[in-house]
Each structure stands twice: as C-alpha cells, then as structure tokens.
Amino acid sequence: MKVFIPTGVNHVERMNAAETAWLVHECIAGNNDAIEIFVRRHEVDVFRLALSIVGDHAEADEITQETFLSALRSLHSYQEKNSLKAWLYTIALNHSRSHLRKRKILERLRSAVTTVFQFEQSHKQPSPENAIILNETESALWAELNKLDESHRTVVILRYFHELSISEISEVLSVHEGTIHSRLHYARKRLKSQLKELHGE
C-alpha cells in the first residue's frame, strides 16, 4: 500500500489532526510504511525523554524500543482528542520509571540532564565567549535542578527540555493542570533564588 504524505511535509514535522488520525489508523492496520513514519517522527523525542530520566544511552535506547512496542500494541486505545505526543510520553515515562525502580538510582538524573543539553547544543555553534558563560551558568542550573524532588524535576524536564504544554504534561503525569502550574512556579522560584545566591545577587 502506498503511503500518502502531503506535499512539503517532512515525516518528522508536526502533523495536523487529520494526518495523525490517518497515521494511527494505518499503524493499527499493520501498514509497515506508516509504522516507520510513526517511529521516525517520535523516536528522538522519546529517546531524549528516556535519557533525561535514566541517564544511560544504552538503557534509554532499550526504553525507546519498549515504548514503541507498547504503543503499537495499544494504539487502538488511543483517544484522538488527546495529544498523541503526550500519550506516547506517558508510555515512555512509565517505562523509564520502571527502569529506575529496578535500579533505584535517582542520583543519575543530573548527568542525564547534562547529557540531554549536550545533545541539543551539539547542533549549535556558540561563540567561545558565550560558550564559557553558558557552561558556567548551565552547570550551576543543573546542579540546582538536581536538588529538586522528582515531582518538580519531572515537570521542569517535560516543560523546558521537551517543550510540552501544560495540558500535555497534565496528560502525561495524570495530574491536574493547576498542580502542574504550581510545581513549575515553585521550581522556577527555587532555581532563580539559588542562581542569584551563586552569582552573589
């Protein structure tokens, strides 16, 4: 079966509701081309999320594979009114937390966040002067982020590293949007205060 992709739309770009509905339908039907598109569209984001939680490339790769296997098996339960990305992140987060529970190593979050940042920055070319300033500030930021409890660290990661909306984070964590706002407010206030102290302000 030939896969229809609208002209000018790359596989990895955000699709509209009709295109997403088509993709889900074709994946459920077993269309291998559609399954490949589905995986290619989301595999980097899922891997980065897993990496930011477990802090290990090999394990994050394993979680990514587990996530897509689980997602493809349960796509029939996906509700189109919800965000497909948030639905997939929920599965990825559950698998990531399962790995953490098995290993009981939450201390690796800081190195994981640093790894994610380095992954993002590898595509940028900051000036040497800006790189020095960024490295100092970011190192301090990750250190302070690591001091937050898991519930606050997680919302920060999902909001600012993976750019999920408040409603999407609410779906992923199964927590009311008001609670997400409250956690973000607390985390931002805590991080801002700590960074001011570090810079002597």
Chain length of the chain: 201
pLDDT reported for residue 61: 94
Q: For the chain, give the percent of residues with pLDDT over 90.
A: 38
Domain spans of the chain? 17-198
| Between 149 and 94, residue with greater pLDDT | 94
pLDDT reported for residue 130: 47
- The two three-digit tokens of residue 200, written as one number: 């002597």
Fold of 17-198: Arc Repressor Mutant, subunit A (1.10.10)
Q: How many angstroms separate the CA atoms of 160 and 164, rounded?
A: 8
Task: Report how far Cα 77 is from the mean position of its chain's Cα atoms.
Answer: 21
Q: Which residues fall within 8 angstroms of residue 165, CB to CB, at 6 or more apart?
A: 83
Instruction: For residue range 100-135, list pLDDT tens digits in order.
Output: 777 664 444 455 555 555 555 555 555 544 444 445
pLDDT band at 162 (very low <50, low <70, confident <90, very high): confident
Q: Which residues fall within 8 angstroms of residue 148, CB to CB, at 6 or more apart?
A: 156, 187, 190, 191
DSSP type of residue 107: G
pLDDT band at 97 (very low <50, low <70, confident <90, very high): confident
| Model confidence, pTM | 0.62
- Tell me the average pLDDT across 144-165: 84
pLDDT reported for residue 141: 72
Secondary structure, 3-state, 28-95: HCCCHHHHHHHHHHHHHHHHHHHHHHHCCHHHHHHHHHHHHHHHHHHHHHCCCCCCHHHHHHHHHHHH
Q: How many angstroms separate the CA atoms of 108 and 29, rounded?
A: 40
